[in-house]
Amino acid sequence: MLGHGPLGAFPLGSAGVPLWFAANFAKQRQKPDEDRTFAAFGRFIASYALAEAGFHIAARSFSGMPEAKARIVFAGMRLADVTERLSRFVAETPNAKEIAELISQFDLIGSARDQFVHRLIEYRHREGLTVTNRLTCKIVTQTEPRTFTVSELEAMEYDCRVIFGRLALVSNHADASGVNTDLSLMSLFGSWQYTPPVRDTPTKQTREAQKEFKHKRRASRASPPDQPEEK
C-alpha cells in the first residue's frame, strides 16, 4: 500500500512510474531554482521600499522645514508628490541633475514593480517570474506577459540600494546614516544595473501612448484634489 490506495490504483507513466510521483519528483528538482527566484523577488521588494524611504528623507532634508514639521507634511504623501516636490526643492541647486537621474531610474524600476503589484505572477522553471494581465484585461487576445529573470530582479534590487545610498549622501540626513546598504562609495556611482528590455523600435504613436501611460501612472499616485470636480 502507498498513500491512500494500492500502487496499481494510480495511473502510470511511460516508464511505469506513477504520474503523481513523477510530477512530485520534478517539482522537488525545481525547488532550489524557485526558492532562489522568490528570494530575489523578496529582496527587490524590500530594497524598493528602502529607495522610497530615501526620497522621503531627501524631501524632508531639502524642504528647509524643521524635521518635526517636515514629517507631518510628507507623512502619507504619495511618492509621485514627494519626488515632484523634491525636484522643485533642488531645481536651482547643484543637486538638481543628481536628483533627476535618481528619479528617472526609479521610475523605470517602478514600472516593473507596478506590474508585480497589480498583475498575476507565475513562476516558470529556469525562466523566472512571469507577470500577466490575462485575468483582468479587456480582451483575452491582448494580454501583456513579461518574464523577469533572476538577474533582472537582482539588478533592480541593487539599483534601489544605490538610489537610497546616493540620496543619503546628497541629503546628509541623520535618518539615513544608520541604514547599511552593503555598498562601497565607489559602487554608488557606477553604471545602472537594470535596463528594461529593448522591444521593437517604438513608433511616434507608441511613444505618445507611453508618455500618456506614464503620466496617468504618476497621476494615479498623486494626492487627491481638495475639492472633487463637478460633473
Measured distance CA(172)–CA(75) in Å, rounded: 20
In the chain, how many domains are there?
A: 1
User: What's the rounded Cα separation, in Å, for the pair 231 and 222?
Assistant: 21
* Residue 102 counted as domain residue: yes
Question: Does residue 198 lie within any of the structural domains?
Answer: no
124: CB partners within 8 A, 6+ apart: 130, 147
Domain assignment present for residue 169? The answer is yes
pTM higher than the cut 0.85: no
Residue 89 lies in a domain: yes
* Residue in the structure block whose three cell numbers are 536628483: 99
Judge whether 4 lies within some domain.
no
What is the torsional sign of CA 8, 11, 12, 14? positive
Query: In this structure, is residue 212 part of a structural domain?
Result: no
What does DSSP assign to residue 129?
Answer: E
Domain hosting residue 49, numbered range: 24-179
**Distances from the Cα of 83 to the Cαs of 79, 91, 94, 168, 225, in angstroms?**
6, 12, 17, 15, 18
Q: If DSSP codes are grouped into helix, strand and coil, which group holds residue 146? A: strand
Q: Is 136 helix (H, G, I), strand (E, B) or coil?
A: coil
pLDDT tens by residue, the chain, 231 residues: 444 445 445 455 555 555 545 445 455 555 778 889 999 999 999 999 999 999 999 999 999 999 999 999 999 899 999 999 999 999 999 999 999 999 999 999 999 999 998 888 888 887 889 998 888 888 888 888 899 999 999 999 999 999 999 999 898 877 776 677 777 777 788 899 999 887 644 444 444 555 565 565 666 555 555 555 554
Answer whether residue 122 is part of any domain: yes
Q: Whose CA is closest to 90, among 135, 58, 57?
A: 58
